[in-house]
């Protein structure tokens, strides 16, 4: 029976949003102006049914006649200048295909053997062949997973023989041959390759390709954290490993009443209320997002959701966060390095990936930030986080027992994602986009949603002994780590595949999405599978845990892996890394004051990319799904004022709240990573405190995204870790989870680009009463404004103000750690006591920006009174973290509320929508609020519309 083709398109007289979006990218990212219009068509193909069934599906499932029309087995657009169809390559999983099959079955269509979908693009205008080729390569096709479909397929049913296991003759290889084997595939150094060689020489045999790949994955920087576990020698003095320092700080802080699990599971866990716990994990997906931003970012979200789902015996994902660093969207195309994508395209597609995964899975994305610097033009930083809710009694990491069944749950296994862990551990080059495009996974959020529901039901029935995410390294990592203390036998021929033809090592290493690995008591396997079937989730027994402490992997009768767990997990020697740190000279002359402090400068501050409104991004995310959102990302009378943190009430009907916040400042890290990291940690906690959180009821998560840590960059990393440790000890706050990503260097010939080092600190915690919190928007006219916190106004290094004036300075803001705990506690007490009507912490843009954002929210103005002894520009634009602007309730006494800590009565709120600043009798400026708001909102409106 011939394939049935259904084409669906927007009605001709209506705008095509997908086509308009592509046209924007063509003009903005590629600079091509010859394309006048773009229309898109969804093409659906079905095998095994006739025309009537296909027509039925078109009318009942695929086409909405209010704004769409369809054709059956004929073109729908015939007047385009160019018409191309982009489809997944044969054998690559199309996430829509399974949904089409399921929907057709639910509608009663019988006989359907296979379904697929693709997209036709119709271009109008004088588009030349070279321009079309550029559009295809840069915007439409990832060469490994997609292609331009020249002729329609004759069948959707594919089959091929599985690849054969190969023997790698490693015992006889020279050093040069070992390095050649490692290049572009294993990313291990010569010492590590020699260890593998020696191991198999002692075994008297050569390894299989699966064994070599298994070891490379397990020993990768991404999975083994070799740098964070290394001995560090700074200026000739040995220091404990980075990870040891962070763990020791948490142990010294203690907080057994708060911390239930730290650094041992997929996410850190802290106590909540009434027998519940909350967990958090923040991950990076920089390398995949650099080469395929939509898929890389989407599967970053999906992966961190599964980290939460795989914590304890399983948690419900209740929130998502995203923190991004890009080059400016208006970066000239000639400044984009070879093999890299344009920053504006990266930004738009990364946002789309996070949006689609979270929205489709029903997880609110409600906290995040976007930061810009030119040196992110080669490799962006894409950070995604997730937070979950689980019973405290099921919060401990599960351990499999010998004899437990190994089950894979969720999606099927394909070739997508192979080498994701190893390639993410290496520096990016001009070849990465082409050599490693197969490392990007393909996400299917609906599959993950079904799996999440099934796993929660299984957890509540006590069916799960242990569970983990099948992420980086696939089964090699998930089964290898779960069975590290027992042993495991894995049968790859039992693994459900998306398509045939995979070699055993590819099945073992694949990072295909939406899969979890679960250890289940053999007596409970039948019920577990039955429960998964009820939720339309595939669950398959693929092996068992043993007691021989060996990892043995089979494909049919062939044994493809036999390695001792001890060598796999402990055979890698501890690295010893050395570096030198020379403190920078801070003494410098202060620049002269600006000629004028007026509307133009204020609008430039608010319109700076690191200050401006990120609302166009936030509005793409559903932050209200699940019905728990108690404080939205943007609030106020018109919904355009940013709040500092998110508040959720995950136990419906209860007043208990979860608070989530974060902080990062890559600009400061370039100047001095110690003070930059301290700023980030302070910002994370200050954001939480500004909405009412008790700083003693928080836990921290660290993320280090770094250039390849060699030379000075290793010394910078050492400084940043020390700052996190000092902050933890002084504030009494534990780090309970973290992640390092140490490969954000780009090399191509003579061109080397290092990203500004990123330290992202996330904070999450508990509040007993969501009613005793506040937001950032002004609440009324004539209320007192108070600046609370310690700052040295002349510390302006790294500020937006200095950047706009072209001033480079190492005199960056230094947080006073001795005073900080008192400041945080006093602010919290004032909010909890009901004396504070609105609160906002000071960050990028300084005090003026904080006041302006509060004014936007209330639709009210503000009068700022600058002390006579202060320099006005420093007073307004200093960016010291840990300082707050508070709007006090009438009658509240700042002298009583803030006794013993630095504070200053700043001014009052005004009824008229203007922001004024005075010093003595002099009015420095009076600027209309709408003028400031327009400047604040303009930059990302231009990018996202």
Which residues are within 8 A (CB) of 666 and not within 5 positions of it... i.e. 6 or more apart? 325, 371, 373, 381, 676, 755, 756, 757, 758
Which residues lie closer than 8 Å to 159 by C-beta, 6 or more apart? 500, 501
25 marked as part of a ligand binding site: no
Confirm or deny that 937 is annotated as ligand binding: no
- Which residues face 320 on adjacent strands? 365, 386
Closest listed residue to residue 388, CA positions, set 280, 259, 275: 280
**The residue count for the chain:** 945
Name the residue among 203, 136, 212 with its Cα closest to residue 167.
Answer: 212
Say if residue 843 carries a ligand binding annotation: no
**Please, what's the b/e burial string for 763-774 (b: 16 or more CB within 10 A of its CB; e: otherwise)?**
bbbbbeebeebb
Q: What are phi and psi of 511, to 5 degrees?
A: -110, 30
Would the annotation count 826 as a binding residue? no
Distance between CA 545 and CA 480 in Å, rounded? 10
Residue 740 labelled as part of a binding site? no
Residue 283 annotated as part of some ligand binding site: yes
Which DSSP string corresponds to 512-556?
Answer: -SSEEEEEE-GGGHHHHHHHHHHTT--EEEEEEE-SS-EEEEEET
Residue 933 zone, left/alpha/beta (φ > 0; ψ -120 to 50; rest): alpha
**875 closest CA partner among 899, 832, 907:** 907
Cα–Cα nearest to 712, from 746, 748, 669, 679: 669
| Catalytic residue status for 342 | no
Query: Is position 799 annotated in a ligand binding site?
Result: no
Q: Is 513 annotated as a binding residue?
A: yes
Active-site option among 13, 147, 225, 285: 285
Q: Which of 619, 659, 662 is nearest to 639 (CA)?
A: 619
Question: How far are the Cα atoms of 13, 40, 41, 63, 103 from residue 67, in angstroms, in the given order?
Answer: 9, 14, 13, 9, 21
512 is in an annotated binding site: yes
Q: How far is CA 782 from CA 113, 641, 774, 916, in A?
A: 71, 20, 18, 14
- To the question of whether residue 131 is assigned a binding role by annotation, the answer is no
Distance between the two ends of the chain, CA-based, in angstroms? 46
53 belongs to an annotated ligand binding site: no
172 is in an annotated binding site: no
| Host H or E run for residue 242 | helix 242-253
- Strands lying side by side in the sheet with 784-788: 836-841, 884-888, 784-788, 903-910, 861-865, 914-919, 922-928
The answer to whether residues 608 and 936 touch, using CB atoms and an 8 Å cutoff, is no
Query: Which DSSP state fits 208?
Result: B
Identify the active-site residue in 105, 147, 222, 623: 222
Cβ contact 395:321 at 8 Å: no
Q: 3-state class of 39 per DSSP?
A: strand
Q: Which long-range contacts (CB under 8 A, 24 or more apart) does 819-822 make?
A: 819/790, 819/901, 819/902, 820/682, 820/730, 820/731, 820/790, 820/882, 821/695, 821/730, 821/731, 821/732, 822/900, 822/901
Q: Give the count of beta carbons closer than 10 Å to the beta carbon of residue 640.
A: 18
436 is catalytic: no
Residues making up the annotated binding site are 281, 283, 306-307, 441, 469, 511-513, 702, 738, 741
Residues making up the annotated binding site for ATP are 281, 702, 738
Residues making up the annotated binding site for Mg(2+) are 283, 307, 469
Residues with catalytic roles? 222, 285
């Amino acid at each position: 029976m011939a394939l049935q083709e259904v084409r669906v398109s927007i009605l001709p007289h209506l705008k095509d949003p997908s086509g308009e979006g592509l046209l924007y990218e063509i003009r903005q990212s590629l600079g091509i102006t010859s394309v006048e219009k773009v229309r898109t068509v969804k093409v659906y193909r079905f095998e095994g049914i006739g025309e009537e069934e296909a027509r039925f599906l078109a009318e009942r499932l695929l086409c909405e006649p209010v704004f769409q029309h369809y054709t059956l087995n004929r073109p729908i657009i015939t007047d385009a200048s160019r018409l191309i169809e982009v489809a997944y390559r044969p054998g690559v999983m199309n996430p829509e295909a399974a949904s089409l099959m399921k929907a057709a079955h639910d509608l009663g269509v019988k006989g359907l053997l296979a379904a697929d979908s693709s997209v036709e693009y119709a271009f109008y205008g004088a588009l030349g062949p070279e321009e079309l080729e550029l559009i295809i390569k840069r915007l439409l096709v990832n060469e490994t997973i997609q292609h331009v479909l020249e002729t329609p397929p004759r069948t959707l049913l594919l089959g091929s023989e599985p690849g054969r296991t190969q023997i790698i003759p490693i015992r006889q290889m020279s050093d040069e041959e070992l390095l050649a084997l490692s290049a572009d595939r294993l990313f291990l150094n010569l010492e590590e390759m020699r260890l593998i060689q020696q191991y198999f020489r002692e075994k008297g045999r050569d390894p299989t390709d699966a064994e070599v790949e298994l070891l490379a994955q397990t020993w990768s920087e991404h999975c083994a954290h070799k740098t964070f576990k290394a001995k560090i020698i700074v200026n000739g003095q040995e220091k404990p490993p980075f990870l040891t320092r962070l763990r020791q700080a948490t142990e010294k802080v203690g907080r057994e009443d708060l911390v239930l699990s730290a650094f041992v599971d997929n996410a850190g866990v802290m106590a909540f209320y009434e027998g519940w716990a909350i967990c958090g994990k923040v991950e990076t997906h920089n390398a995949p997002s650099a080469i395929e931003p939509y898929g890389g970012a989407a599967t970053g979200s999906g992966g961190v959701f599964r980290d939460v789902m795989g914590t304890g015996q399983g948690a419900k994902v209740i929130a998502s966060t995203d923190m991004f660093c890009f080059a400016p969207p208006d970066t000239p195309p000639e400044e984009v390095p070879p093999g890299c994508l344009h920053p504006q395209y990266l930004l738009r597609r990364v946002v789309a990936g996070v949006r689609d995964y979270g929205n489709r899975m029903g997880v609110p994305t409600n906290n995040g930030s976007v930061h810009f610097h030119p040196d992110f033009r080669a490799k962006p930083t894409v950070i995604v986080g997730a937070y979950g809710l689980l019973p405290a009694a099921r919060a401990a990491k599960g351990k499999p027992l010998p004899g437990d069944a190994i089950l894979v749950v969720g999606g099927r296994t394909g070739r997508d994602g192979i080498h994701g862990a190893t390639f993410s551990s290496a520096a990016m080059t001009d070849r990465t986009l082409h050599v490693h495009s197969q490392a990007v996974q393909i996400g299917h959020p609906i599959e993950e949603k079904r799996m999440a529901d099934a796993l929660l039901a299984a957890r509540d029935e006590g069916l799960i002994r242990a569970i983990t995410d099948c992420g980086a390294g696939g089964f090699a990592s998930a089964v290898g780590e779960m069975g590290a203390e027992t042993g495991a036998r894995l049968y790859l021929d039992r693994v459900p595949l998306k398509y045939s033809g995979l070699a055993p090592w590819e099945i073992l290493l694949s990072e295909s999405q939406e899969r979890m690995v679960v250890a289940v008591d053999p007596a409970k396997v039948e019920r577990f599978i039955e429960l998964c079937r009820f939720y339309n989730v595939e669950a398959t027994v693929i092996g068992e845990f043993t007691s021989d402490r060996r990892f043995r992997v089979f494909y049919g009768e062939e044994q493809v892996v036999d390695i001792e767990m001890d060598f796999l997990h402990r055979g890698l020697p501890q690295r010893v890394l050395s570096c030198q740190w020379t403190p920078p000279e801070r003494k410098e002359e202060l620049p002269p004051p600006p000629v004028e402090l007026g509307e133009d400068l204020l609008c430039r501050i608010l319109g700076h990319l690191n200050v401006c409104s990120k609302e166009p991004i936030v509005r793409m995310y559903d932050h209200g799904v699940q019905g728990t959102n108690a404080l939205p990302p943007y609030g106020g009378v018109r919904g355009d004022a940013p709040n500092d943190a998110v508040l959720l009430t995950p136990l419906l009907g209860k007043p208990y709240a979860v608070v989530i916040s974060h902080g990062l400042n890559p600009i400061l890290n370039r100047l001095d990573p110690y003070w930059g990291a301290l700023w980030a940690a302070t910002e994370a906690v200050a954001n939480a405190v500004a909405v009412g959180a008790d700083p003693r009821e928080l836990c921290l998560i660290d993320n280090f995204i770094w250039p390849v840590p060699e030379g000075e960059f290793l010394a910078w990393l050492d400084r940043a870790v020390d700052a996190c440790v000092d902050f933890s000890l002084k504030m009494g706050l534990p780090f309970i989870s973290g992640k390092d990503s140490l490969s954000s260097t780009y090399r191509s010939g003579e061109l080397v680009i290092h990203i500004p080092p990123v330290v992202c600190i996330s904070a999450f915690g508990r509040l007993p009463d969501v009613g005793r919190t506040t937001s950032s928007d002004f609440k009324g006219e004539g209320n007192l404004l108070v600046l609370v916190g310690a700052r040295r106004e002349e510390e302006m290094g790294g500020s937006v103000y200095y950047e706009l004036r072209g001033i480079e300075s190492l005199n960056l803001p230094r947080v006073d750690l001795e005073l900080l705990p008192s400041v945080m506690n006093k602010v919290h007490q004032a909010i909890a006591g009901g004396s504070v009507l609105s609160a906002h912490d000071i960050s990028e843009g300084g005090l003026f920006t904080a006041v302006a954002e509060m004014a936007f929210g209330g639709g009210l103005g503000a009068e700022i009174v600058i002390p006579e002894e202060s320099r006005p520009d420093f007073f307004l634009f200093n960016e010291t973290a840990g300082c707050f602007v508070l709007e006090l309730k009438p009658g509240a006494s700042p002298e009583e509320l803030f006794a013993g800590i630095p504070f200053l009565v700043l001014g009052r709120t005004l009824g008229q929508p203007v922001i004024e600043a005075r010093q003595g009798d002099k009015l420095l400026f009076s600027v209309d609020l709408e003028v400031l708001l327009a400047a604040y909102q303009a930059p990302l409106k231009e990018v996202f519309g």
